[in-house]
């Protein structure tokens, strides 16, 4: 008689693993992403609010930069992390538009929610969204305006307007003209081929007003730790030679360095004298090289400081590495690890003017008029530390925008104008096709309206009324650049009002947002591994069990 096989259950995953799949999982992922967008929604635009975030260590951050807020929020939902990544990618690639990209991705998901509920396959939605994305990018390339930047003056005004648009939604918007000019000055002084960001140093000093911030065409860094004799050194030079070293000019205690057995005092004295001779030999070589300013990454001790003071030289030890490298790029010369090659002319840098200045409560070493002035330093003044940090983030966004506008001089109007035009374009296109794709492209068109709608809501305007006006204006084909007018609670031609953004900001935002939405829609199962015993114990302790 044949034995009947029992259907034993197949155990695939480790005990304690969680698995969620199907339509409900897609819906759950969409809801999580909408919650993330709620966190940054109110920061969009000139009237956007700021967020105050306190981390586990108690440090406070005040910001309205989407990428910064999402980075500080410790988001653990796997799908919602995708939005954090696209905000970061937008920040790294373009610098601005981080809130817009999160809002757009969340709105695309929101529009697709009803289709998923009705049983439309996510891959159908993804295919339509990707088609819509390509249509949008083609449209932006077609309508973006390439401004002639032959003359420096016209180039400057274009860059300043882009910087103004970026700064108008930041904490420092009341000083935006002052900072826009400073940012453009800074970027135009960089190497025009690479425009390296690390060649713009930003130093923050508490106290004073924002308008006391200044731009140094060259390098400025805080006075480092100094020894006796420092006060006797000159604090200003005209056309000095600058020695950049990675050498320690300090006496070491013999007992710490080596174990030497000596049987009389004369032998010990010889060892001590030898070290003094080595140090004095180094100092003599530096003095004979003709250098007037000596900077070293390593400490310069009190013997060396006094030696330089007696011979009218200025020295600073323990200079941070990035400041030393920026000085080398700016003033020329090389960073040496020995003092015996200083006779060669190429190893010493120079500048027109060196001075140690008092800025606020700090002393600063300032190098001006450098021969290869491909580096600048922005010295920020202001009240609270959090305020100055947010100012630095705002300037970073503006600097990135100006860099992008220099490389791609095609621009579009901001303030929701380009989004309304793309919305109208997609809506018209959807009427020319049949099937589900028509509905999905139309839904994508609706999603683009989130940007002007949110701008209105953040400013306290009647969003429905203004959006109706914008839809009408764009549908008449004479309102290409019409967007939200924040000042007069109306609509206006934002191109004429000089609310400009580089086209690359918008194309990058649309690509990133669509890809994120498609990625989240394509996930239909989440498997979480079991928690380790340590994690379970920690969770139990946290709950007070």
Domain formed by 218-372, architecture: 3-Layer(bba) Sandwich (3.50)
Domain regions of the chain by residue span: 22-146+413-528, 218-372
CATH tag for 22-146+413-528 (out of 1.10.560.10, 3.40.630.30, 3.40.190.80, 3.40.50.180): 1.10.560.10
Residue-level pLDDT, tens digit, the chain, 545 residues: 445 555 666 666 566 555 556 677 788 888 888 888 888 999 988 888 888 988 888 888 888 888 888 888 888 888 888 888 899 888 888 888 889 999 999 999 999 998 988 888 889 999 999 999 999 999 999 999 887 666 667 788 888 888 888 888 888 888 889 899 999 988 888 877 777 787 888 888 888 788 888 888 888 888 887 777 777 888 888 888 888 888 888 876 555 556 777 778 888 788 778 888 888 888 888 888 888 889 998 888 888 888 888 888 888 889 988 888 888 888 888 888 888 777 766 788 888 888 888 887 788 888 888 777 678 888 888 887 888 888 888 888 888 888 888 877 788 998 899 999 999 999 999 999 988 999 999 999 999 999 999 999 999 999 999 999 999 999 887 788 999 998 888 889 988 888 888 888 899 999 999 999 999 888 877 666 676 555 556 555 555 54
CA atoms of 527 and 525, how far apart (whole Å): 7
CA atoms of 447 and 108, how far apart (whole Å): 6
User: DSSP letters along 244-303, please?
Assistant: EE---BSPPPHHHH-----SSHHHHHHHHHHHHHHHHHHHHHHHHTT-SEEEESS-B-HH
Three-class DSSP category at 94: coil
Name the residues annotated as catalytic: 65, 98-99, 397
Please tell me the predicted confidence (pLDDT) of residue 150: 65
Three-class DSSP category at 354: strand
CA atoms of 276 and 214, how far apart (whole Å): 43
| Token pair 């960089």 in the structure block, residue | 190
Burial class of residue 534 (count of CB atoms within 10 Å of its CB; 0-12, 13-18, 19+): exposed
Please tell me the predicted confidence (pLDDT) of residue 333: 83
CA atoms of 446 and 428, how far apart (whole Å): 12
CA atoms of 170 and 97, how far apart (whole Å): 12
> Where on the phi/psi map is residue 382: left (φ > 0), alpha (ψ -120 to 50), or beta?
left
Please tell me the predicted confidence (pLDDT) of residue 140: 93
Please tell me the predicted confidence (pLDDT) of residue 545: 46
Q: In which element (H, E) is residue 328 found? A: helix 321-331
Angstrom distances, CA of residue 24 to CA of 78, 156, 521: 15, 53, 12
| Token pair 């498997």 in the structure block, residue | 527
Please tell me the predicted confidence (pLDDT) of residue 8: 62
Please tell me the predicted confidence (pLDDT) of residue 456: 93
Do residues 410 and 144 lie in contact, with contact meaning Cβ atoms separated by under 8 Å? yes
Q: Which residues contact 54 (CB under 8 A, 6 or more apart)?
A: 60, 61
Three-class DSSP category at 345: helix
CA atoms of 294 and 286, how far apart (whole Å): 8
């Amino acid at each position: 008689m044949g034995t009947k096989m029992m259907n034993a259950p197949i155990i695939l995953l480790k005990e304690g693993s969680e698995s969620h799949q199907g339509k409900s999982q897609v819906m759950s992922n969409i809801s999580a992403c909408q919650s993330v967008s709620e966190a940054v929604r109110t920061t969009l635009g000139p009237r956007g609010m700021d967020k105050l975030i306190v981390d586990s260590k108690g440090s406070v951050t005040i910001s309205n930069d989407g990428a910064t807020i999402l980075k500080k929020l410790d988001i653990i939902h796997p799908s919602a992390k995708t939005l954090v990544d696209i905000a970061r990618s937008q920040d790294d690639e373009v610098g601005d538009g981080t809130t817009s990209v999160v809002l757009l991705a969340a709105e695309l998901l929101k529009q697709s929610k009803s289709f998923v509920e009705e049983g439309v396959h996510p891959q159908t939605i993804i295919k339509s969204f990707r088609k819509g994305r390509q249509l949008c990018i083609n449209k932006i390339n077609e309508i973006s305006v390439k401004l002639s930047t032959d003359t420096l003056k016209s180039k400057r005004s274009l860059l300043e307007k882009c910087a103004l648009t970026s700064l108008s939604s930041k904490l420092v918007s009341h000083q935006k003209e002052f900072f826009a000019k400073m940012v453009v000055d800074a970027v135009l002084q960089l190497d025009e081929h690479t425009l390296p960001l690390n060649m713009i140093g930003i130093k923050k000093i508490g106290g004073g007003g924002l308008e006391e911030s200044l731009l140094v065409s060259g390098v400025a860094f805080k006075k480092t730790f100094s020894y006796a004799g420092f006060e006797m050194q000159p604090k200003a030079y005209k056309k000095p030679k600058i020695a950049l070293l990675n050498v320690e000019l300090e006496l070491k205690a013999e007992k710490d360095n080596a174990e030497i057995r000596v049987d009389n005092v004369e032998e010990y004295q010889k060892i001590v004298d030898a070290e003094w001779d080595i140090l004095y030999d180094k100092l003599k070589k530096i003095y004979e090289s003709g250098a007037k300013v000596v900077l070293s990454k390593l400490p310069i001790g009190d013997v060396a400081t006094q030696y330089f003071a007696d011979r009218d030289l200025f020295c600073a030890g323990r200079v941070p590495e990035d400041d030393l490298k920026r000085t080398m790029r700016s003033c020329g010369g090389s960073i040496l690890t020995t003092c015996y090659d200083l006779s060669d002319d190429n190893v010493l840098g120079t500048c027109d003017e060196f001075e140690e200045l008092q800025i606020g409560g700090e002393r600063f070493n300032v190098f001006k008029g450098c021969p290869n002035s491909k580096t600048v330093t922005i010295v920020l003044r202001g009240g609270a530390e959090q305020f100055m940090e947010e100012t630095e983030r705002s300037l970073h966004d503006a600097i990135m925008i100006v860099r992008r506008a220099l490389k791609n001089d095609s621009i579009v109007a901001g303030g929701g104008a380009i989004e309304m035009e793309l919305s109208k374009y997609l809506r018209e296109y959807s009427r020319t096709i049949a099937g589900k794709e028509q509905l999905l492209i139309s839904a994508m068109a609706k999603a683009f309206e989130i940007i002007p709608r949110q701008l209105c809501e953040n400013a306290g305007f009647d969003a429905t009324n203004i959006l109706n006006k914008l839809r009408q204006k764009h549908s008449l084909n004479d309102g290409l650049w019409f967007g939200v007018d924040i000042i007069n609670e109306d609509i206006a031609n934002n191109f004429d009002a000089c609310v400009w953004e580089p086209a690359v900001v918008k194309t990058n935002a649309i690509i990133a947002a669509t890809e994120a939405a498609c990625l989240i829609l394509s996930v239909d199962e989440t498997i979480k591994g079991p928690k380790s015993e340590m994690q379970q114990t920690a969770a139990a302790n946290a709950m007070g069990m």
